[in-house]
Amino acid sequence: MNLPLTDLQKNKLKVLEPRLNRAINEQNYKFAKEIVVDIQSILRPTKHFVRLVQSKNKLCELAIELNDTKYALSLLNSNILVINKNTRIYLETVSLLAICHLRMKDVEAAKKYIKEVLVNHTVIKTDRTREIFHYEIINRFNEEVALATLTGYESFYLDQDDIEKEAIRIIQNLTEDEIFSQIGKNSPQSTKDLIYIVHDYSTKQLTFTERLALPSPDQKVKDKEVGLTIFESVKRVLYNSLCNPDSEIYKAWFSNGLQLVLDKKYIVSSVVSCLSGIGFGVSMIAASIVALITKFGIEVYCVQQKPIYVSEIRNK
């Protein structure tokens, strides 16, 4: 049973929890870890495990974003031991375990958690809410497996000048739909194969009615669908660099508009830097991503492509 929090503890949490959210949004990993330790020092002795796991899960999702999957896996496995299975926070934790294993390219290990997430009908009791959750979490699973197959190429070099030239050619000659299809065409077969496997396995856990409302595995690996999945998958890597109001590119866009951003090569340099950091291995796809962001514009991209975190899906 929880012990009552003192006024002092409540006041500390009122400061620490918003501070953690800011650190997560800014991807300040070191600071986020320190804040979670402070939150834990308050909530663990009082046995407020649900509230503590909520904070720890946020840190885990950031760890996954930054490819510190071993740390995330260890923390998630400890989180799952202290919470009730019939709660939304448990569903969130299991979802993150699936995502973590997918990011580690371990699809077989992820299947156990994917199934547990999708066959659980006791936590989200409303059919419509559960359908929305299933749709969005399955999309997240697909995005994770796509990203996992395209990253980790430490020796691969993305040439900024070549990518810029190709992006300009794409912008001048292709529509948005054609660019998404081109991403799919340039994707390795291994990406399409694993998207198929994960989507097929995920949808088989659903009711017949739910399955009918979702694309089939065959539809999911068509070029345009694969392109959309990949574009969605990289936004978690790119968003903070492009959309942080304090970043150089964001300030330049809102102060001086598109031309300065293009002249200074902000978009291509940001995208290349972020993708190189995770070992992204397909330069033609990188050029298409640059082209799409340029076509959308930073303002539209930052509104439409804001990442949805697992806790936000769970709480919809």
Model confidence pLDDT, tens digit, residues 250-295? 777 766 666 666 666 888 998 999 999 888 989 999 999 999 999 9
Give the C-alpha separation, 310 to 117, whole Å.
12
- Dist. CA 282–CA 197, nearest whole Å: 22
Q: Residue 207 burial (CB < 10 Å; 0-12/13-18/19+)?
A: middle
Question: Exposed (0-12), middle (13-18) or buried (19+): which is 28, by Cβ within 10 Å?
Answer: middle
Sign of CA dihedral 277, 281, 287, 291: negative
- Enter the DSSP assignment of 209: H
The letter for the amino acid at 41 is S
pTM for this model (two decimals): 0.92
Measured distance CA(139)–CA(153) in Å, rounded: 24
Max CA distance (Å), the chain:
64
pLDDT at residue 152, rounded to an integer: 83
Element (H, E) at 185: helix 176-185
Written as one letter, the residue type at 118 is L
- What is the C-alpha to C-alpha distance for residues 82 and 96, in angstroms, rounded to an integer? 16
Q: Are 107 and 194 in contact (CB under 8 A)?
A: yes
Q: Around 97, how many Cα atoms within 13 Å sit in the side-chain half-sphere?
A: 24
The DSSP code sequence of 233-269 is HHHHHHHHHHH-TTSHHHHHHHHH-HHHHHHTTHHHH
The pLDDT, as a whole number, for residue 82 is 94
| The predicted structure's pLDDT at residue 308 | 83
The band of 9, judged by pLDDT with boundaries at 50, 70 and 90, is very high
pLDDT tens-place string over residues 78-123: 999 999 999 999 999 999 999 999 999 999 999 999 999 999 988 9
- What is the spatial distance between Cα 212 and Cα 196, in angstroms, rounded to a whole number? 16
Structure confidence by residue, pLDDT tens digits, 37-87: 999 999 999 999 999 999 999 999 999 988 899 999 999 999 999 999 999
Write out the two tokens for 251: 């300030």
